[in-house]
């Protein structure tokens, strides 16, 4: 075997180990409680001995904490993460893709990053050159989750008891069709979970329609949301909505490919 071939195979092996370790960290992040090696192995599709070795190495580096046989994200991972700006490198990598979608749809498109279990940050907003009146800059703004498409996606990721804890008893009415009834919200979130996308129509502001789709990592955890928002008179109509949803889903797939490892954990 030649020396270059040897180096190439070693690099592939090292990359595989890194990808597997990242998958393990994502699995721990996706769990709301400390998790056993067996549970992590099922989540990432790897043999338990392989996962156990990865957890041992990550624990030694402070990226994983262990109590008895249960594991959670570690103290040093939290320290390193505090130094990172999640939007800095991401925006540069995906701006062209998001802008291309805005041009295809002829409407404003946003990308939001999930922050913890209950919040998200809108980090990128792109508008097509063709429209004369653009949506105002929405970055840094906050709205009740029950009245936004991205917010509904986030709530649909949570068990019912956490939804109640996040939203409280009262659902503020912001527009003519805002959901203000808890039972209606539960029904709506069931639909979002079943269909895999969320929308609003006269719920945040009268005359505004928005729809959003999730971006998921290789353990199924939603880490971001891609959304379209615009005036109702341009978007209303089943064919327009269906086309917009399909373009959102296709672009979400491309963005996921750009932002996450393309090497399966089991490779």
Residue 188 CA to residue 168 CA, distance in Å, equals 17
Q: What pLDDT does 29 receive?
A: 85
Residue 62 CA to residue 77 CA, distance in Å, equals 7
Residue 226 CA to residue 120 CA, distance in Å, equals 12
Closest CA to 154 of 201, 214, 98: 214
List % helix, strand, coil for the chain (3-state, nearest 5): 50, 20, 30
Task: Encode the chain (267 residues) as per-residue pLDDT tens digits.
Answer: 444 444 444 455 557 888 899 889 988 888 878 999 999 999 999 999 999 999 999 999 999 999 999 999 998 888 887 777 766 778 888 999 999 999 999 999 999 998 877 888 899 999 998 765 556 666 667 789 999 999 999 999 998 888 988 888 899 999 999 999 999 999 999 999 999 999 999 999 999 999 999 999 877 889 999 999 999 988 878 888 999 999 999 999 999 988 885 444 444
Q: What pLDDT does 131 receive?
A: 64
Give the Cβ contact number of residue 65 at 10 Å.
18
Q: Is 39 helix (H, G, I), strand (E, B) or coil?
A: helix
Q: C-alpha distances in angstroms, 3 versus 7, 10, 155, 217?
A: 6, 11, 53, 35
What's CA 260's distance to the chain center, in Å? 11
The structural domains of the chain, ordered by start, are 3-81 (1.10.10.10), 88-259 (3.30.450.40)
Q: What pLDDT does 132 receive?
A: 56
Residue 168 CA to residue 203 CA, distance in Å, equals 18
Given CA atoms 128, 232, 125, 78 in this order, what sign does their dihedral have?
negative
Q: Is 18 helix (H, G, I), strand (E, B) or coil?
A: helix
Q: What pLDDT does 168 receive?
A: 85
Q: What pLDDT does 99 receive?
A: 95
């Amino acid at each position: 075997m030649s020396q270059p071939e040897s180096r190439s195979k070693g690099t592939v092996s090292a990359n595989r180990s890194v990808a597997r370790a990242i998958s393990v960290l994502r699995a721990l992040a996706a769990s709301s409680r400390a998790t056993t090696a067996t549970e992590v192995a099922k989540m990432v599709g790897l043999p338990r001995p392989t996962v156990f070795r990865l957890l041992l190495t990550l624990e030694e580096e402070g990226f994983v904490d262990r109590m008895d046989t249960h594991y959670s994200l570690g103290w040093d991972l939290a320290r390193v993460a505090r130094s990172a700006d999640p939007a800095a490198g991401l925006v540069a990598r995906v701006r062209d893709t998001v802008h291309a979608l805005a041009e295809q749809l002829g409407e404003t498109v946003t990308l939001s990053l999930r922050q913890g279990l209950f919040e998200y940050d809108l980090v990128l907003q792109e508008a097509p050159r063709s429209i004369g009146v653009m949506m105002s800059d929405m970055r840094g703004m906050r709205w009740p989750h029950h009245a936004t498409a991205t917010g509904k996606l986030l709530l649909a990721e949570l068990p019912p008891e956490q939804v109640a804890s996040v939203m409280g008893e009262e659902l503020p009415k912001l527009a003519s069709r805002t959901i203000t009834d808890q039972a209606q919200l539960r029904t709506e979130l069931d639909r979002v979970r079943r269909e895999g996308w969320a929308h609003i129509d006269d719920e945040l502001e009268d005359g505004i329609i928005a729809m959003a789709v999730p971006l998921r990592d290789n353990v199924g955890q939603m880490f971001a949301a891609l959304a379209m928002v615009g005036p109702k008179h341009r978007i209303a109509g089943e064919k327009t909505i269906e086309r917009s949803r399909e373009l959102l889903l296709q672009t979400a797939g491309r963005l996921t490919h750009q932002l996450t490892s393309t090497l399966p954990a089991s490779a």
